Amino acid sequence: MPSGSTPSSPIEDKLFPQKYTFQIKGRVYSLDKPKIMGILNLTPDSFFEGSRVRLEEKMILNTAEKMISEGADFLDIGGYSTRPGALDISMEEEVQRVVPAISLIKREFPETLISVDTFRSGVAKHAVESGADLINDISAGNLDSQMLAAVAQLNVPYIAMHMKGTPQTMQEEAIYQDLIPEILYYFSQKLEQFSKLGIKDVIIDPGFGFAKTREQNFQLLRDLKRFNALGLPILAGVSRKSMIYKTLQINPSEALNGTTALNMFALSQGANILRVHDVKEAKETVTLFEQLYH
């Protein structure tokens, strides 16, 4: 990942995401403007019911087409629910959920970039072989000892997230002496590991909701700009999460307005990619952000 960014004034540095490029299968893609990643969950128990997609070709294609038409730059396809306390499933079941969907979407929408949301190297390999362009790993290689070697071999961009524990135990792991420095140290260690393995294009995700309390999530968002020091693109995933609906005392289905508010703040702090359930509203947020500051 090139570490350089386009020269800008000190004021602009505070308002605009850094400008990066990454390579996918020989083509160069630019993150000169904030991008939208639409969430396509092929799980029956994701925390937001409205994001669940049945394993039916027509529904998968309709959902993908809707997100693409509304402005999604990426589709993030996952078959393993990572909500707090989610049930574990086998790798075989996860593969059966995501691989046919990736193949289907790539056949119908070949120019659409797809990330596979998995922490398992076997799923990642099958997904990339079926057309996935990026790997989105909630554990940054911690939950599968073969994942990082697989990413290096597959030579695709890697989204590395901060989490402690597993989806089943992470809520018990939200203990920090100094939240932001500890997460920055975590990523600095990971980046050294990635570099030694030859993993070139890395996007970091600070992991909102993963081994963090509600208060810690807001601290993380307030200080998101500090992660620009790592010199890598930042993905922010706050969409409809408990930091929103518990604060507002509503449920996930009512958390779109809160999501939009926090997405705008994330952009102002340097987020390059917004991972969202609601593409149209996120795209409008990006458009207004650019109109405000460009």
Pairwise CA distance, residues 168 & 217, whole Å: 19
Contacts of 77 (CB under 8 A, 6+ apart): 40, 42, 98, 101, 102, 105, 114, 115, 116, 117, 127, 132
Which amino acid appears at position 180 of this protein? I
C-alpha closest to that of 209 among 259, 183, 160, 244: 244
DSSP at 114: E
Give the single-character DSSP code of 97. H
35 in catalytic set: no
Catalytic residue list contains 275: yes
- Active site residue: 222, 275, 280, 283, which one? 275
Dihedral sign for Cα 39, 42, 44, 45, please. negative
Catalytic residue among 35, 125, 164, 241: 241
The residues annotated as belonging to the active site are: 241, 275
